[in-house]
Amino acid sequence: MADLEELYREIILDHYRNPRNRGELDPPAIRVEGFNPLCGDEIVLSLAVTDGVVTDVKVGGSGCSISTSSGSLMSAAVKGKTVDDVRELLATFKGMLSVGDEGEHDPSVEPTPVNLRSLGELAALQGVAKFPVRIKCATLSWNTLAQGLDEIAAD
Protein backbone atom coordinates (compact mmCIF):
# COMPACT_ATOMS: atom_id res chain seq x y z
CA MET A 1 0.00 0.00 0.00
CA ALA A 2 2.88 2.37 0.75
CA ASP A 3 4.21 1.82 -2.78
CA LEU A 4 0.83 2.78 -4.25
CA GLU A 5 0.66 5.94 -2.12
CA GLU A 6 4.17 6.86 -3.26
CA LEU A 7 3.17 6.33 -6.89
CA TYR A 8 0.13 8.56 -6.39
CA ARG A 9 2.30 11.23 -4.79
CA GLU A 10 4.67 11.08 -7.77
CA ILE A 11 1.78 11.43 -10.24
CA ILE A 12 0.46 14.49 -8.39
CA LEU A 13 3.91 16.08 -8.24
CA ASP A 14 4.56 15.36 -11.92
CA HIS A 15 1.29 17.03 -12.96
CA TYR A 16 2.06 19.98 -10.65
CA ARG A 17 5.59 20.47 -11.98
CA ASN A 18 4.66 19.74 -15.62
CA PRO A 19 0.97 20.58 -16.05
CA ARG A 20 -0.60 19.22 -19.20
CA ASN A 21 -2.75 21.31 -21.54
CA ARG A 22 -1.60 24.59 -20.00
CA GLY A 23 -2.80 27.90 -21.44
CA GLU A 24 -5.92 29.15 -23.19
CA LEU A 25 -7.68 28.32 -26.44
CA ASP A 26 -8.54 31.00 -28.97
CA PRO A 27 -12.18 32.00 -29.39
CA PRO A 28 -14.78 30.71 -30.13
CA ALA A 29 -13.82 28.29 -27.35
CA ILE A 30 -15.86 28.54 -24.16
CA ARG A 31 -13.91 30.38 -21.47
CA VAL A 32 -14.86 29.85 -17.82
CA GLU A 33 -13.20 31.12 -14.66
CA GLY A 34 -13.21 29.46 -11.26
CA PHE A 35 -12.00 30.70 -7.90
CA ASN A 36 -11.47 29.07 -4.52
CA PRO A 37 -11.72 31.83 -1.89
CA LEU A 38 -10.44 29.52 0.86
CA CYS A 39 -6.93 29.35 -0.55
CA GLY A 40 -6.84 31.77 -3.48
CA ASP A 41 -6.66 29.20 -6.29
CA GLU A 42 -7.79 30.67 -9.61
CA ILE A 43 -8.49 28.77 -12.81
CA VAL A 44 -9.24 29.78 -16.37
CA LEU A 45 -10.59 26.89 -18.39
CA SER A 46 -10.94 26.98 -22.17
CA LEU A 47 -13.11 24.31 -23.72
CA ALA A 48 -13.78 23.36 -27.33
CA VAL A 49 -16.61 20.95 -28.11
CA THR A 50 -17.45 19.75 -31.61
CA ASP A 51 -20.38 17.44 -32.35
CA GLY A 52 -20.72 16.53 -28.67
CA VAL A 53 -17.03 15.66 -28.20
CA VAL A 54 -14.50 17.62 -26.13
CA THR A 55 -11.93 18.27 -28.84
CA ASP A 56 -9.61 20.44 -26.77
CA VAL A 57 -9.24 21.83 -23.29
CA LYS A 58 -6.68 24.17 -21.76
CA VAL A 59 -6.20 25.15 -18.14
CA GLY A 60 -4.65 28.41 -16.98
CA GLY A 61 -4.49 30.36 -13.76
CA SER A 62 -2.61 29.70 -10.56
CA GLY A 63 -3.08 27.45 -7.61
CA CYS A 64 -1.65 25.04 -5.11
CA SER A 65 -0.18 21.66 -6.04
CA ILE A 66 -3.51 19.83 -5.62
CA SER A 67 -5.45 22.36 -7.70
CA THR A 68 -2.85 22.48 -10.46
CA SER A 69 -2.34 18.72 -10.66
CA SER A 70 -6.10 18.06 -10.58
CA GLY A 71 -6.62 20.50 -13.47
CA SER A 72 -3.84 18.86 -15.43
CA LEU A 73 -5.15 15.35 -14.78
CA MET A 74 -8.70 16.46 -15.60
CA SER A 75 -7.69 18.05 -18.90
CA ALA A 76 -5.88 14.92 -20.02
CA ALA A 77 -8.77 12.69 -18.96
CA VAL A 78 -11.57 14.53 -20.76
CA LYS A 79 -9.95 15.36 -24.09
CA GLY A 80 -11.54 13.28 -26.85
CA LYS A 81 -14.49 12.13 -24.71
CA THR A 82 -18.15 12.83 -25.38
CA VAL A 83 -19.85 15.43 -23.20
CA ASP A 84 -21.99 12.66 -21.66
CA ASP A 85 -18.88 10.62 -20.82
CA VAL A 86 -17.23 13.72 -19.33
CA ARG A 87 -20.27 14.38 -17.12
CA GLU A 88 -20.19 10.75 -15.96
CA LEU A 89 -16.47 11.01 -15.19
CA LEU A 90 -17.10 14.25 -13.31
CA ALA A 91 -19.73 12.56 -11.13
CA THR A 92 -17.44 9.59 -10.52
CA PHE A 93 -14.54 11.85 -9.55
CA LYS A 94 -16.67 13.86 -7.12
CA GLY A 95 -18.13 10.65 -5.72
CA MET A 96 -14.62 9.36 -5.06
CA LEU A 97 -14.02 12.47 -2.94
CA SER A 98 -17.39 12.23 -1.12
CA VAL A 99 -18.66 15.52 -2.50
CA GLY A 100 -22.38 16.20 -2.23
CA ASP A 101 -24.67 17.78 -4.83
CA GLU A 102 -23.73 21.30 -3.76
CA GLY A 103 -20.04 20.67 -4.47
CA GLU A 104 -19.16 20.73 -0.79
CA HIS A 105 -17.49 17.95 1.19
CA ASP A 106 -20.27 16.05 2.89
CA PRO A 107 -19.09 13.57 5.53
CA SER A 108 -22.52 11.91 5.45
CA VAL A 109 -22.02 11.01 1.79
CA GLU A 110 -20.42 7.62 1.44
CA PRO A 111 -17.66 7.57 -1.15
CA THR A 112 -18.97 6.12 -4.36
CA PRO A 113 -17.50 2.67 -4.94
CA VAL A 114 -15.21 3.31 -7.86
CA ASN A 115 -13.13 0.99 -9.94
CA LEU A 116 -9.92 2.97 -9.46
CA ARG A 117 -8.36 1.31 -12.49
CA SER A 118 -11.10 2.86 -14.62
CA LEU A 119 -10.00 6.31 -13.43
CA GLY A 120 -6.38 5.80 -14.46
CA GLU A 121 -4.14 8.54 -13.09
CA LEU A 122 -7.15 10.39 -11.61
CA ALA A 123 -7.14 7.78 -8.84
CA ALA A 124 -4.01 9.52 -7.53
CA LEU A 125 -6.28 12.20 -6.07
CA GLN A 126 -8.35 9.81 -3.96
CA GLY A 127 -6.22 10.58 -0.90
CA VAL A 128 -7.48 14.17 -0.93
CA ALA A 129 -10.74 12.86 0.58
CA LYS A 130 -8.86 12.45 3.89
CA PHE A 131 -8.36 16.24 3.99
CA PRO A 132 -11.75 17.95 3.60
CA VAL A 133 -10.19 21.41 3.41
CA ARG A 134 -8.27 20.34 0.26
CA ILE A 135 -11.29 18.90 -1.57
CA LYS A 136 -12.19 22.35 -2.95
CA CYS A 137 -8.67 22.51 -4.40
CA ALA A 138 -9.10 19.14 -6.12
CA THR A 139 -12.59 19.91 -7.44
CA LEU A 140 -12.03 23.49 -8.61
CA SER A 141 -11.12 22.54 -12.18
CA TRP A 142 -13.94 19.97 -12.29
CA ASN A 143 -16.55 22.47 -11.08
CA THR A 144 -15.27 24.96 -13.64
CA LEU A 145 -15.50 22.29 -16.34
CA ALA A 146 -19.12 21.63 -15.31
CA GLN A 147 -19.86 25.34 -15.73
CA GLY A 148 -18.37 25.26 -19.22
CA LEU A 149 -20.41 22.21 -20.18
CA ASP A 150 -23.53 23.92 -18.86
CA GLU A 151 -22.78 26.98 -21.02
CA ILE A 152 -22.44 24.76 -24.08
CA ALA A 153 -25.72 22.99 -23.28
CA ALA A 154 -27.48 26.36 -22.91
CA ASP A 155 -26.44 27.48 -26.41
Q: Is 34 exposed, middle or buried (0-12, 13-18, 19+ CB in 10 A)?
A: buried
Choose between 46 and 104: higher pLDDT: 46
| Mean pLDDT, the chain, integer | 88
Choose between 101 and 140: higher pLDDT: 140
Q: What percent of the chain has pLDDT over 70?
A: 87
Query: Is the pLDDT confidence value at 97 over 90?
Result: no
The pLDDT tens digits for 118-144 are 788 998 998 888 888 899 999 999 999
Is the domain spanning 2-154 CATH 3.30.70.2190? The answer is no
pTM: 0.87
| Best CA proximity match to 63, nearest among 116, 10, 22 | 22
Residue ranges per structural domain of the chain: 2-154
pLDDT at 107: 57
Query: Is the pLDDT confidence value at 62 over 90?
Result: yes
Distance CA 23, CA 108 (A): 37
pLDDT at 152: 87
Label residue 94 by pLDDT band (50, 70, 90). confident
Give the pLDDT mean for 37-57. Answer: 95
Query: Is the pLDDT confidence value at 46 over 70?
Result: yes
Distance CA 106, CA 100 (A): 6
